[in-house]
Amino acid sequence: MKKIISVLILVFILLLTGCSVSKTGAQTKAIEEALNQLVENHEVFCYFKCEDIKGQIKKQEKTQKEKEKAVYTIVAEVPDLSEVPFEQLESDFSSSDIYSGTTFGFEKEYKEITNKGLKEIVLKDENIKWKEEKIRFHLTKGKKGWVATVEKKDGEMLADAARREIWSASDRYMKMDKEYHKVYVESEVRSQLEEVFSEMQYRISTDIEEITQKDDDVFHIKLTYYNPEEVYKGILDNFYDEYAKEGRNGYKFITEKEFTSYNQENFEKYFKEWRKEKQANKKDEDRESAELTVILDKELKIEITEGMEELQKAVLDKKKSMVGQTLAKINEEFVIHEQERPATSVLSGANTGVSILVKSSPDVSDKHIDFQNEGGASVLKAFIRSGEELTIYIPAGNYRMIQGWGDHWYGNDISYGPEGNYKTSSQILNVVGGNSYTLTLYGVSDGNMPTKGIEYPY
């Protein structure tokens, strides 16, 4: 609607013959000009009364002590629409004719219409009250005569008083309007649906089919939504496939946090494609339904008293169950699980040949040791707990010994995984038949068998 700019001022001045050149008359004229300037500078509807400025000045003249300066408090009147009934608007306007999908759109159109009617009531000045406002003017006498300026806060208040009063009355009408209540309740309910449908695309696809006002403050709402099992199945399948591509190579359990992050990044695109396919197959009407009871209080605050708990269970509990099942499947199939550490023992290899007593100092961690021949093949693997010893047997030959330790044990094949620590002997171990050896694992840097760190997998 085209913006209407109204600039109006009603000033009643009682001038006596022969007073136009008097000091009082000159000061009256200066205040009139200041008021006119105030109206001209105001871009929206501006309307007030200021009667008998000269008479008001006369009553305050004795308080003025300076000849070329003066300060006057002038009483103006602004419209008071607090008791104007809606029926006084001469219009066949009905809020049921307003069609808007949002509360903002309804409010905008409603107020544009009612504001126009209220302006007409003010201009006609029929059956409305007026309230007084005191405005302070500062006057100074210059070469061209008296000049008046209004105090800034008083001027702003006076210029905007009619507009504020109209908007206040319009807002009061709207907040009592039953059609507005329906629009408002729908908007507030949609906002609270975020607790159930966390994904925006899922939430906005939810349709409020019907709003019935049972009493002045009680509303019955029927809504429909896509089956959560259908909605989340696809995104969870995609989430599963991401791990299936990599195979069984993860070491940390996948939690709901990982799915939430994936869902936030991918749900919008997924849901659009999913819904498009559903519409193409003419299955878009396959929906679940729910019914809510809402109470709207006098302060326009809503409370959903029935139906919300059941809706949360239908959607959130189903989603939680589906997410939990998918995470369990991923962790079972693609995550390498931490295992209980074995006792000090040989884990693999023939364990025959030359005797080697392996001792572990109490100040070192549980060690996984791997004897590899010159070709890099593992001949024997063993686990030595801290402070314990084990006799192993390997064929005569040249070897390097790899030690592994860490916080998480994943089994003989994987050892301590990529987060473990690994070292290899810097020198070749020459194992000669007929001899026996003792190998002590110390937590020192100056032992007689130098080692160096290596990366995993070794």
Whole-number pLDDT of residue 330:
96
- How far is it, in rounded angstroms, from Cα 264 to Cα 199? 8
Output DSSP code: residue 150.
E
The predicted pLDDT at position 257 comes to 96
**pLDDT of amino acid 94:** 77
What per-residue confidence (pLDDT) applies to 283?
Answer: 76
Rounded distance between C-alpha atoms, residue 368 and residue 241, angstroms:
34
Could you read off the pLDDT of 103-141 as tens digits, one per residue?
Answer: 999 999 999 999 999 999 999 998 899 999 999 999 999
pLDDT in tens, 315-330: 999 999 999 999 999 9
pLDDT score at 343? 98
Look at residue 376 in the predicted model and tell me its pLDDT: 94
Please give the pLDDT value at position 282: 79
Domain chopping of the chain, boundaries? 10-176, 228-334, 345-453
pLDDT for the residue numbered 10? 41
345-453 is classed CATH 2.60.40.10: yes
- List Cβ neighbours of 313 (8 Å cut-off, separation of 6 or more): none
Task: Say what the pLDDT of residue 447 is.
Answer: 63
Contact 76, 131 (CB under 8 A): no
Query: So what's the pLDDT on residue 445?
Result: 61
Which pairs count as long-range contacts for 252-256, CB under 8 Å and 24+ apart, including other chains? 252/335, 253/331, 253/335, 254/327, 254/330, 254/331, 254/335, 255/327, 256/323, 256/324, 256/327
Instruction: List, for the chain, all residue ranges whose pLDDT scores fall below the cut of 50.
Output: 1-21
Q: What is residue 313's DSSP assignment?
A: I
